[in-house]
Structure 1
Amino acid sequence: MPPSRTRSNNSGSNGNVATGKNLVRAMLLLGVASLAINFRYYSKIRGAIVGPSDESFDSSDSSSTVIGGGGSSLISKGMGMSVLSSSVRKSENADTKGHRKGKKPKKTFDGELAGGQLIKKDKKGNTVVKVITALNKEDLGDAAGDDDNTQGDMTLEEAIKGREPIIRVLKEAGIQDFDAATVAKLPMWEQVEKLYGKGPVVYGLDTCEAFRNSVPPEDASLASSGIFNSGTNTLAMYMNANCIMPENKKERYGGMRWQVPWGKHMVAKRKWTNTVKSDRKVNKTTVMPIVAIRDPYSWMQSLCRHPYATKWHHTAKHCPNLVPNQDDLDLFPYLENTVPARIDYPERAEHWDSLVHLYNDWYGQYFRADYPRLMVRFEDLLFNVHEMVETVCTCVGGVPREKQFAYVVDSGKFGPGHPEKGASQHTNLIGAMVKYGTDKLRFKGMTDEDLLFAHENLDPELMAAFQYEVPPPP
């Protein structure tokens, strides 16, 4: 009997140990299950807030008179909802990993500076935006045109006369060597002012105060947006090189984002339903869109060369084409009164009656938005960029990054979304000044019917706000 009692006591002890182990296992399993349930729950909540995520739609292209506008919608119901959302989700886009002990702080500048210019490298270390220090014909790209013998033996001093503001910009940008024949191809300053007025245009300045008051400075950031061929890459590089949100220590590059979280080329109406995959955790109400707009006539010409995801029926002989001519009808007999256009966005395309309707609607959505945003001109990236960038930076609560302003002289188009660089592919600052500083090529490729259609259908409010002249009917 005693041995039996001994075995019984040992068995009871082992049973207690086994029970304890089972209890520990059960608690661990319960904890794991709880974590899984919470993860699924918060994932659903996050999806309800941000909406479905599409693939990033990124193609990776003097005196100062500043004009603001668009303030009446600021106090609308939609704007109030945005402000409330900002306060509720104040810390949503916080990322403190880079500030933990032993971790390197986040990089605040994406590039290098050299002699007043920005240098940018890709992830492999290859230089994609280089320094240009001489004004040569090869730097003009396809804007060089034919040699003009009428310049004769013009001296450099004679060539500069009437172009002083442009030469001043180029010198500030680090251009050191000037060739008289090439300088003579630059536009006269009076031609630039005739096309674009005196000084930069920044639309939406009266929405900056609402942005600064509703978004905590440690969360505030700005990001570029714009339709294809509007200079979004160059705009983003200028802001990154010359502005920083001093309180924003959480995000890369000091609150200077490459694109808006809903995709820089995405239509604004899909702001709340489209999210770039890399920006799923970003609170969209803390991001101020900086939208690049461009003269619709030169924009359509650029689209003919680089359509990206924009689709419409056209030929090299007739482009831009708004109204089909006989050649168009012979090739595309299903066309009627206009040439429809679409953008093949991920998951769902957007359709318009013509390129003009596309332009009106795409920019009109930002122009009449009920949330803070700024709209700047592509042309001011060429001729008034210093004043424009400083105005935008100050308005949103930023400060200059460096004492010396950094210019982007090389082409801003690079990456897998753009063809390989070359003189015939992309235009740098100098070539763009030549090409877009006069109206010599502004209507190239368009018929009288196209010009009449543009005159009758371009949004007059947009044209007036950004000082783009619509020519009278032919």
Structure 2
Amino acid sequence: MFKFCLRHRFCVLLSLLGYMVMFFAFMNSETWKVLEKEVNGFSKIVEQRKIDVKHTLKNTYKNNPYNNKIRVYGLHHCPNVKKENPKVRPRKAFKKLAISGMYNSGTNALYSLLKSNCKPSKNYNEAVWQIKWGKHGYPYKIDEITLKKNASSFQLFSKELEEVLPVYVIRDPLTWIKSVCRNAYTIEFRSKMDKNPTFWQFMLCPRLLNVSSCKWHNQSFDTIADLWNQWYSMPFLYEQKPFVTQNQLFGLDFGFDIYSKQNLHVHFNWAPFLQTFPFADDLLIFDPVNWTLPDFNWSITSMKRYEESLFWWKNLHSHSALSLPFLMIRFEDLLFKPTQILSLLCQCIDGDFDPTNVSVPEAPSKDHGIETSNRSQALHTYGYHSYRYLDFYPFDLQFLQHNLNPKLVEMFGYDIPPLSTFNFTRLEKEWFSPKKRGEVQLFYELQNRIRSLKKKSSSTSRTSSSNITS
């Protein structure tokens, strides 16, 4: 047995040694040396650009793109705020503000500021830490709640929602992506160029966005930008969408089977086409009475399907009466202009607010996460005009220009200027051409495999030596 184990270990070591010789031979080749030299040279350029930006840019908020204008969506839902359109009638006053937003968007900071500065009044209770479906959850969680309840429970639930005004915190996707690279929470990244699932997150993020995908709560997204798009589009879908029955739409493929009984109780009824048209004015659904009856022969199966489709249709129509007004504010406005934002929020729900005595904590708003910063550090970081573009390659910015939701980007002032306005060097522009990206992919893959082989070789050597000793 000892001789077999020794011979087996020796074969493993010999094969690993052969692989290492092959890779190290390639490393000593001229192709590898040239590529490695270019990679190191470009890395130095990137680092030098960071140093130049930090030392030459003045930390003035006057030039900060976020500081030009406060961006708040949803003030038309506030009965106490002056309307741009006086014809829009808000609902009755809300009793609570509930916080929501993606990870690393400032939800804890908003809750802390509201709790300290927006005091309860006759019509307003204290702010709620999170909304009914979770602070970081999708609004479609309501579907799972409402469609499973009977009429009386639904009425109680909708009445409870009528008293709460959700406040979503949105953040610049460029800075948010970099923050998620450090604190991913439950977001799982997948690298399309390496079998190691964490390779992109720890080695490249936020660079090479197009070669990474992610998964969040069992839902897959093409890129992290796609997650930002879908998450912040959802509140608009549920704000108030009137239903119009259309029996002419039977031929459309909505991506799901409306006859499936399990789909009657989950969000898939809405999500496929709502995510495709997040800012549509109307939501069209079928009238089952018009198009179902002629197709059936009144068999048991056909009657069952008719009842299911009718049940689905009635539930959606009853659900359409439940609109979900909301406010959406920017993380950057909360950071640079907290007094103005708090004044609007408190005025909206008739809270007790004193603009001359605003308490803004200096300490980090959360005690979890990696590299959390206090307020002064955040002001220093986001006060730099070019911080949002640091750590990205030119084609990453171009990728985001074409893949971020244009409506959200325009609404909240997160535009990315044309690449022609950036002072990129010739090397920076040419280095990441499609051909060069293929070479970079090979370079990183080989580096990763060599590290893996070294690790296996060292562990095998330790195991073999321990067996021989024993």
Q: TM-score, normalised by structure 1?
A: 0.50
Task: Report if aligned partners of 1:186, 1:433 keep a CA contact under 8 Å in 2.
Answer: no
Task: Report if aligned partners of 2:76, 2:90 keep a CA contact under 8 Å in 1.
Answer: no
The CA deviation string for residues 176-207 of structure 1, in whole angstroms up to 9 with x for no partner, is xxxxxxxxx97212222xx1142422111012
Instruction: Output the amino acid matched with 1:471.
Output: P
2:117 to 242, 245, 251: 242
Alignment CA distance shift 1:149-1:379 (3 Å): closer
Task: Report if aligned partners of 1:225, 1:291 keep a CA contact under 8 Å in 2.
Answer: yes
1:224 to 99, 111, 116: 99
Q: Is the counterpart of residue 311 in structure 1 residue 188 in structure 2?
A: yes
2:234 alignment counterpart: 365
Alignment CA distance shift 1:428-1:149 (3 Å): closer
Alpha-carbon shift at residue 213 of structure 1 (Å): 6.1
The CA deviation string for residues 42-88 of structure 1, in whole angstroms up to 9 with x for no partner, is xxxxxxxxxxxxxxxxxxxxxxxxxxxxxxxxxxxxxxxxxxxxxxx
Query: Partners in 2 of 1:364 and 1:374 — Cα distance?
Result: 13
Alpha-carbon shift at residue 458 of structure 1 (Å): 0.9
The CA deviation string for residues 97-151 of structure 1, in whole angstroms up to 9 with x for no partner, is xxxxxxxxxxxxxxxxxxxxxxxxxxxxxxxxxxxxxxxxxxxxxxxx9899979
Query: Partners in 2 of 1:462 and 1:301 — Cα distance?
Result: 19
User: Percent identity among equivalent residues?
Assistant: 30
The CA deviation string for residues 246-282 of structure 1, in whole angstroms up to 9 with x for no partner, is 1258xxxx3311111211100122234369xxxx989
Query: Partners in 2 of 1:441 and 1:149 — Cα distance?
Result: 9
In terms of fraction of residues, the more helix-rich structure is 2
1:273 alignment counterpart: 144
Q: Tell me the number of residue pairs that the alignment of Structure 1 and Structure 2 aligns.
A: 261
Secondary structure, counterpart of 2:418 in structure 1: coil
Q: Greater CA deviation, 221-230 or 457-466?
A: 457-466
Q: Is the counterpart of residue 341 in structure 1 residue 253 in structure 2?
A: no
Alignment CA distance shift 1:186-1:473 (3 Å): closer
Q: Is the counterpart of residue 449 in structure 1 residue 395 in structure 2?
A: yes
Query: Partners in 1 of 2:209 and 2:108 — Cα distance?
Result: 31
1:203 alignment counterpart: 73
Q: Is the counterpart of residue 435 in structure 1 residue 381 in structure 2?
A: yes
Alpha-carbon shift at residue 312 of structure 1 (Å): 1.2
Q: Which consecutive residues of structure 2, in runs of 5 or more, have no partner in the other structure?
A: 1-49, 82-88, 147-155, 191-199, 241-323, 421-470
Secondary structure, counterpart of 1:289 in structure 2: strand
2:177 alignment counterpart: 300
Secondary structure, counterpart of 1:376 in structure 2: strand
The CA deviation string for residues 230-254 of structure 1, in whole angstroms up to 9 with x for no partner, is 00000011111111341258xxxx3
Alignment CA distance shift 1:323-1:230 (3 Å): closer
Instruction: Output the amino acid matched with 2:181.
Output: C
1:126 alignment counterpart: none
Aligned-pair RMSD on alpha carbons? 3.2
Alignment CA distance shift 1:300-1:149 (3 Å): closer
Alignment CA distance shift 1:148-1:441 (3 Å): closer
Secondary structure, counterpart of 1:290 in structure 2: strand
Instruction: Output the amino acid matched with 2:206.
Output: P
Query: Partners in 2 of 1:412 and 1:150 — Cα distance?
Result: 28
Q: Which consecutive residues of structure 1, in runs of 5 or more, have no partner in the other structure?
A: 1-144, 152-184, 325-337
Alignment CA distance shift 1:210-1:407 (3 Å): closer
Alpha-carbon shift at residue 381 of structure 1 (Å): 1.6
Instruction: Output the amino acid matched with 1:257.
Output: V
Alignment CA distance shift 1:197-1:469 (3 Å): farther
Alpha-carbon shift at residue 398 of structure 1 (Å): 2.0
Query: Partners in 2 of 1:150 and 1:360 — Cα distance?
Result: 34
1:260 to 102, 107, 131: 131
